[in-house]
């Protein structure tokens, strides 16, 4: 029972710290997101995700330039959003070419979104079979199209470890699917 109250207390402190940051820097955060992200819906998602991330991992106390810290976090998220948008466009084009249809037809777009959602749920189901680090590396590599050096920088490990996690994760997925 004591552990539960300690965890609840820490969570309350983390939420309070995030609220303080957003109270002081909320306008700055919104303006930077608006600068880097065109899609209005994605802007609001980024704002909320940043808040949740700050609850999960508050700004370290040794950070003297909170604006710079937040700017880098937003920029990293904006790059991810741009990468997602490029992936969506690429999938849409590939789907249209494969099925010889116009990408401007709303029925075709709905079919593509359904197909993409199905692929995403299959990917998520398969990834759940892996250890956390393997799943993280495979997700960054194959869903988000990160290069091996980008993955290494993102999660703070060396490139050789990324390669090992990729190899072991793929080996495990092949074994699961009985492909080998």
CA 77 to CA 95: how far, in whole Å?
27
| Architecture of the CATH domain 129-180 | Orthogonal Bundle (1.10)
Q: What share of the chain is helix, strand, coil (3-state, %, to 5)?
A: 80, 0, 20
At residue 158, does pLDDT exceed 60? yes
Domain with CATH 1.10.10.10 in the chain: 129-180
Residues 130/173, Cβ–Cβ less than 8 Å: yes
Cβ partners under 8 Å of residue 85, min gap 6: 39
Whole-structure pTM value: 0.48
- What confidence tens digit (pLDDT) does each residue in 81-131 have? 778 778 877 776 776 677 665 555 555 556 655 666 666 666 677 777 788
- What confidence tens digit (pLDDT) does each residue in 133-154 have? 888 898 888 878 888 899 999 8
Question: Positive or negative CA dihedral for 120, 125, 126, 127?
Answer: positive
């Amino acid at each position: 029972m004591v552990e539960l109250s300690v965890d609840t207390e820490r969570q309350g402190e983390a939420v309070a710290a995030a609220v303080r940051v957003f109270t002081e820097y909320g306008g700055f955060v919104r303006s930077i997101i608006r600068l880097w992200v065109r899609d209005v819906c994605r802007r609001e998602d980024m704002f909320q995700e940043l808040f949740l991330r700050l609850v999960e991992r508050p700004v370290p106390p040794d950070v003297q330039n909170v604006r710079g810290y937040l700017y880098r976090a937003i920029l990293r998220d904006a790059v991810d959003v741009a990468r997602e948008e490029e992936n969506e466009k690429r999938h849409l084009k590939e789907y249209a070419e494969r099925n010889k249809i116009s990408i401007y037809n709303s029925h075709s777009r709905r079919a593509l979104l359904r197909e993409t959602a199905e692929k995403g749920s299959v990917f998520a189901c398969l990834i759940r079979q892996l250890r956390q680090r393997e799943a993280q590396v495979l997700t960054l590599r194959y869903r988000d199209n990160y290069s091996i050096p980008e993955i290494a920088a993102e999660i703070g490990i060396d490139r050789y470890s990324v390669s090992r996690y990729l190899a072991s994760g793929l080996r495990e997925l092949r074994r699961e699917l009985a492909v080998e």
